Amino acid sequence: MLPKSILFAFCLLLLSGSISAQNLFFKFTDGTSATYTTDEIRKFTFSGNEMVLLKKDSTTISWNASTIGNYRFDATTSITDAERINNAEVKIYPNPFKGAVRIRYELPVADKVAVDIIDMQGRIIRNWPQIQKPAGAHELLWQTSDNGGKAIPSGTYICRITTTKGSVSKMMVME
């Protein structure tokens, strides 16, 4: 179900009118990565658990959703900026999980950080507001409840860590 969340985020950015000269970064579970500028993307489509990207030059690229580890959409202008943002690597364990999950991230420099848990309809169901954090490793334990303390159902969720330099998202599965 990960591709629907990607589509949701991408559609929001399209509607915002601020999509030119931005990048879509994918980091795959096998350690490889891919970057596409929004100027070269015509559309995304979905078939079952497969995401298909159609580029404006008519090239078609497809992935199984389970191979997409992280994705990020931001306005960086060079790969150097993207690498610096990627240094805020997100680790989620155990994944899949039951009852509680640890979310670990590392900041290369002190920065403001917000954490959001997003369901597959694009709703933020749990968030930790943006606060200043020092450089280094940080971890939070999520007890799988929404902002009101109500337990959430099993399913696929997105954990998004946002800093002033961009954001990194990772898929999580609650059994």
Instruction: Tell me the mean pLDDT in the region 128-146.
Output: 93
Cβ-based neighbour number of residue 92 at 10 Å: 19
Mean pLDDT of the chain: 75
Distance CA 146, CA 125 (A): 5
Query: Of 78, 106, 72, 75, which is closest to residue 90 (Cα–Cα)?
Result: 106
SS3 1: coil
> Ranked by mean pLDDT, which of 3-7, 77-81, 84-88, 118-122 comes out on top?
118-122
> Which residue segments constitute the domains of the chain, with CATH numbers given?
1-82 (2.30.30), 87-175 (2.60.40.1930)
Cβ-based neighbour number of residue 125 at 10 Å: 17
pTM listed for this prediction: 0.56
pLDDT level of residue 83 (50, 70, 90 thresholds): very low
pLDDT of the residue at 30: 82
In the numeric block, which tokens belong to residue 21? 């000269």
Reported for 122-129, long-range contacts at CB under 8 A and 24+ positions apart, including other chains, are 122/5, 122/8, 122/9, 122/12, 125/152, 125/157, 126/152
19 has pLDDT over 70: no
Distance CA 101, CA 61 (A): 33
Assign residue 132 a region (left: φ > 0; alpha: ψ between -120 and 50; beta: otherwise). Answer: beta
pLDDT of the residue at 73: 56
78 has pLDDT over 60: no
Q: Label the pairing between strands 166-174 and 68-74.
A: antiparallel
Contacts of 154 (CB under 8 A, 6+ apart): 174, 175
5 has pLDDT over 80: no
CA angle 79, 85, 90 (to 5 degrees): 130
pLDDT level of residue 146 (50, 70, 90 thresholds): very high
